[in-house]
Amino acid sequence: QVQLVESGGGLVQAGGSLRLSCAASGRTFSQYAMGWFRQAPGKEREFVTVINWSGSITAYGDSVKGRFTISRDNAKNTVYLQMSSLKLEDTAVYYCAAARTYYGGVYQKEADFGSWGQGTQVTVSS
Q: What confidence tens digit (pLDDT) does each residue in 10-21 have? A: 999 999 999 999
Looking at residue 33, its pLDDT comes to 96
Give burial (CB, 10 Å; 0-12/13-18/19+) of 14.
middle
Looking at residue 26, its pLDDT comes to 84
| pLDDT tens readout for residues 39-58 | 999 999 999 999 999 999 99
Looking at residue 103, its pLDDT comes to 85
Inform me whether the pLDDT recorded for 1 exceeds 90: no
For 11, residues 6+ apart whose C-beta sits below 8 A from its C-beta are 123, 124, 125
Question: Quick one: the chain helix, strand, coil %, rounded to 5?
Answer: 5, 55, 40
| pLDDT tens readout for residues 20-34 | 999 999 878 999 999
Between 106 and 121, residue with greater pLDDT: 121
Looking at residue 104, its pLDDT comes to 79
